[in-house]
Chain A
């Protein structure tokens, strides 16, 4: 029996779920499309398990998609009532007198993305979208003309050495007229598709940031419901783009997160330790005192913006959401944008199916719709934001200031940038660890393994390692000298470890079952030799409330 759907969305995040739901609604009223089979395929074992964000949420796309959403009890916290931007030094905090309106989140909802996805998924399923969990998509399928015509679901049951275990299940090909890639930041299928079809021709190299976050339950007297803080400065140095966010969400739950641009140049930078050090700042420590650590997570965020967006359509496929480079880097928001992109994809697909034409020429309408929507208005305004910080915080703030008054054009419109992995400088004696020596205290700060445990990440142990290194001799040789094996620091999950072996030499060991599926390694390794592919479906983090 050959398996097929009319449309397959890969990844059950807000983009795909919105797109799938919207598509079912649009086609229900068209006689020849009323029984359209729409599937969303997700590697996490349960809805929302691997969705993760800050998050402040603008419901404008949700209002379009589900106008009566408030009646359906969305799992939202309060609206943002107070916000503050400040600059931190090691011991002090300098609040800015105002938040630039273009960066303001006042009036937006504070939410947990994993809960939101869970809620949205239920609605999508109730309206006929088939959402499948616990299955990873390994590859795309192509027909003879090179058009995408389906996906291949990863098999299960290979052991560590690649041999079939007794319960082996073959990879499963599934056909579709249109495949929509909504894999999130640095989707692995998207990465390969972009390379194969030259979808990034003429665009700026894509840039990313890594976001790490902890969820805490704080004391009643430290909880400020509806308040958010954003900080810059400590624990990051002036040459590194990034900052923190602290959201007081609901039920005494506070999210503390740190976002660091992956264009950073200091090989000794250790994002996880920076997050721990952030908590030690008196401002944050005071908030968390007497509180309870609940969970931890990490993901990469696509930051390249308007000029880095690849071509998002082709014969038989569309790319939506963060996979397509959609995120407002200035506001650090994207859930509404990616939802809208999913909906625009749905409209494009409906038209294509009615016209019985899923070629690139027909699906190009998606890009046209993006360009004429509020997505492009926001992204254009932020188009030079992150790139303006390439030379450091101070020049970045100057650029940002100019961009604010020129709808994004700023002093330089379209910076020349290098891909993130080329930005790392080599080790030298004058590159100290920016956070200083770090020792977890077990009450406010923790070691990486403890936090990984708090992400709930679990994988089938006996399976091939899903992080491929082209040439491990580089890790054990050149990289040690030149960059000091930065993977042991930039990975937020302790997947990479240098371990002294019996002959006294340190070599790279991987602990793939700690992986949080963030893909920082795929982006930042300075030699470009690390490739992340999904492990067996069903493995990965278990984010509840994050």
Chain B
């Protein structure tokens, strides 16, 4: 009853009654019911997809003439899925002067790479890329198509899905094949507070954008061989109503706490503003962003964009190091979906240890420099 975001459930004489006029079919009630009393009737899963013989495809993103690392991550993941389905893995490369990357993609696990190397693809045009990819998909009929959940991927992939009237799941953090051969797409929702498994059983291809830096690329095998197909394009595919007037590179963005993979955060336990130096040193070695609790921001030891917590930023890094942070609930709510948490505090009963995977109790002024030293050694060694 309390889980329902639209207050559609009331208790009447001890039984839950759902007001179907209010219900938005989000499924939250199904999840929390301790006795599984609520069922969500889903359409049938077992649909034959004999036509989708084109294997697993990965859209390989290139910006200018450079290829984005996410492409290798997706080839690595795509390889697993293709093997699971017993089908081939194809990379699709769209851009200008990017043909040279095809070989590398094959060496990282692709069986085939379809290359669209054309001046008209020099800039990223949503309509053009979408048209090209949709066209290819309609012709070759892959069963799964993946792209990175980058600005580019998230912009044009939905257009492809809409053209093909198929399902697309955004920003997946895990992919798998289930017993029926369908792609299980796992993704966070509610700001990372819950995870959802999504299926697209009745349509093909199953499309997904995948969060960068989550999947692992395969090691490069320079002996690996595959097929490279240069696709010819008809001119009408290259028409764009939008025009890029210029492309500008900008500094910074590095150290943005909201998107960093590693964050080193300091709290009131640091004692004085100068002691943030310890945090910066550790962050430097780890190539991490620097965060702070509300306490240190209020005191002016670090600026507000670095604040992590209920009234600051909610972060979901791979590693969160909490130095001198007690773990007030307002802070926890901003970082407790981090993959790994390491906490350092002089109080063994500090609440932060309840959400930490690793913890040190003791004097942070001794522990943090040692930690910095160890990571430095590991990085260089």
Contacts from A to B (Cβ < 8 Å): 251, 442, 447, 449-450, 453, 458, 461, 499, 502, 509, 511, 513
Given contacts A442-B351, A502-B272, A513-B311, contact A449 B11 (CB under 8 A): no
Q: Which residue of A251, A442, A449 is within 8 Å of B330 (Cβ)?
A: A449
Task: Determine if B329 is an interface residue (Cβ-Cβ < 8 Å).
Answer: yes
Could you give, for residues 271-284 of chain B, a 1 whenever the CB lies within 8 Å of some chain A CB and a 0 otherwise? 01100000000000
The CA of A497 and the CA of B352, in the complex, are separated in Å by: 21
Q: Chain A residues with Cβ under 8 A from B162's Cβ?
A: none
Indicate whether B298 reaches chain A with its CB closer than 8 angstroms.
yes
Contact residue among A453, A499, A509 (Cβ-Cβ distance under 8 Å from B329): A453
Number of A-B contacts (CB under 8 A): 23
A461 interface neighbour in B11, B272, B299, B311, Cβ under 8 Å: B311
Give the chain B neighbours of A458 by CB distance below 8 A: 310-311
- Which chain B residues have a beta carbon within 8 Å of chain A's beta carbons? 1, 11, 272-273, 298-299, 310-311, 328-330, 333, 351, 354
Question: Is the beta-carbon distance between B330 and A453 smaller than 8 angstroms?
Answer: yes
Q: How many angstroms from the CA of A484 to the CA of B329 in the assembled complex?
A: 27
Known: A461-B311, A509-B298, A513-B311. Is A449-B272 also a contact (CB below 8 A)? no
Alpha-carbon distance A453/B11, docked complex (angstroms): 27
Considering the complex, give the chain A residue whose CB is closest to the CB of B10.
Answer: A73
Give the complex CA separation of A509 and B329 in angstroms: 20
Tell me the complex Cα distance, A461–B131, Å: 46
| Set B11, B310, B329, B333: member contacting A251, Cβ < 8 A | B11
**Is the beta-carbon distance between A449 and B328 smaller than 8 angstroms?**
yes
A449 touches B329 (CB 8 A): yes
**With A and B bound together, what is the CA distance between A461 and B330 in angstroms?**
14
Q: Are B329 and A450 in contact (CB under 8 A)?
A: yes
A251: B residues at CB distance < 8 A: 1, 11
Nearest-CB distance from B153 to chain A (Å)? Answer: 33
Residues of the B chain whose Cβ atoms lie less than 8 Å from the Cβ of A453: 310, 329-330, 333
In the complex, what's the smallest C-beta–C-beta distance from B367 to chain A, in angstroms? 23
| Interfacial chain A residues near B1, Cβ < 8 Å | 251
- From A447, which residue of chain B is reached at the shortest CB distance? B328
A511: chain B residues within 8 A (beta carbon): 298
What is the distance, in angstroms, from B336's C-beta to the closest C-beta of chain A? 13
CB distance from A10 to the nearest CB of B (A): 28
Of all chain B residues, the one with the shortest Cβ separation from A509 is B298
A452's nearest neighbour on chain B, judged by CB, is B330
Tell me the minimal C-beta distance from A119 to chain B in angstroms. Answer: 12
Q: Which 9 pairs from chain A and chain B are nearest by CB?
A: A453-B329, A449-B328, A450-B329, A461-B311, A453-B330, A251-B11, A502-B272, A449-B329, A449-B330
Q: Nearest chain-A residue to B273 (Cβ)? A: A502
Collect the chain A residues with CB atoms within 8 Å of residue B351's CB. Answer: 442
Since A442-B351, A461-B311 are in contact, a sample of 16 more A-B pairs with Cβ atoms closer than 8 Å, ordered by chain A residue number, is: A251-B1, A251-B11, A442-B354, A447-B328, A449-B329, A449-B330, A450-B328, A450-B329, A453-B329, A453-B330, A453-B333, A458-B310, A458-B311, A509-B298, A511-B298, A513-B311
- Could you tell me the distance in whole angstroms from the C-beta of B4 to the nearest C-beta in chain A? 12
> A residues within 8 A CB of B354?
442
Task: List chain B residues, Cβ under 8 A from A499.
Answer: 299
The docked-state distance in angstroms from the alpha carbon of A453 to that of B1 is 21
A502 contacts across to B, CB distance below 8 A: 272-273
Instruction: Please give the distance in Å from A115's CB to the nearest CB on chain B.
Output: 11
Alpha-carbon gap, A450 to B329, bound state (A): 6
| Smallest beta-carbon distance B1→chain A, Å | 8
In angstroms, Cα B299 to Cα A509, docked, is: 10
Residues of A within 8 A of B329 (CB): 449-450, 453
> Can you list 17 A-B pairs, Cβ within 8 angstroms, ordered by A?
A442-B351, A442-B354, A449-B328, A449-B329, A449-B330, A450-B328, A450-B329, A453-B310, A453-B329, A458-B310, A458-B311, A461-B311, A499-B299, A502-B272, A509-B298, A511-B298, A513-B311
CB distance from A83 to the nearest CB of B (A): 24
Q: How far is the CA of A513 from the CA of B310 in the complex (A)?
A: 12
Shortest C-beta distance, A103 to chain B (Å), equals 31
Of chain B, the residue at the smallest CB distance from A442 is B351
| Identity of the chain B residue whose Cβ is nearest the Cβ of A449 in the assembled complex | B328
Residues of A within 8 A of B299 (CB): 499
Q: Which residue of B lies closest to A251 (CB)?
A: B11
Residues of A within 8 A of B311 (CB): 458, 461, 513
User: How long is the Cα–Cα vector from A449 to B354 in the complex, in angstroms?
Assistant: 16
Q: Residue on B with the closest CB to A118?
A: B7
A-side contacts of B328, CB under 8 Å? 447, 449-450
Find the B residue at minimum CB distance from A510.
B298
Complex CA gap A499/B328 in Å reads 17
- Distance of A251 Cα from B333 Cα, bound (Å): 28
Name the B residues within 8 Å of A513 (CB-CB): 311
Of residues B1, B11, B330, B354, which shows the largest number of chain A Cβ atoms within 10 Å of its Cβ?
A: B330
Q: Shortest CB–CB separation between residue B249 and chain A, in angstroms?
A: 28
> For the complex, what is the distance from the CA of A502 to the CA of B299, rounded to whole Å?
10
CB proximity of B107 to chain A, nearest CB, Å: 51
**Which residue of the partner chain B has the closest CB to A75?**
B10
A360 to B299, alpha carbons, bound, how many Å? 51
For the complex, what is the distance from the CA of A442 to the CA of B352, rounded to whole Å? Answer: 12
Contacts of B11 in A (CB 8 A): 251
Closest-by-CB residue of A relative to B331 is A449
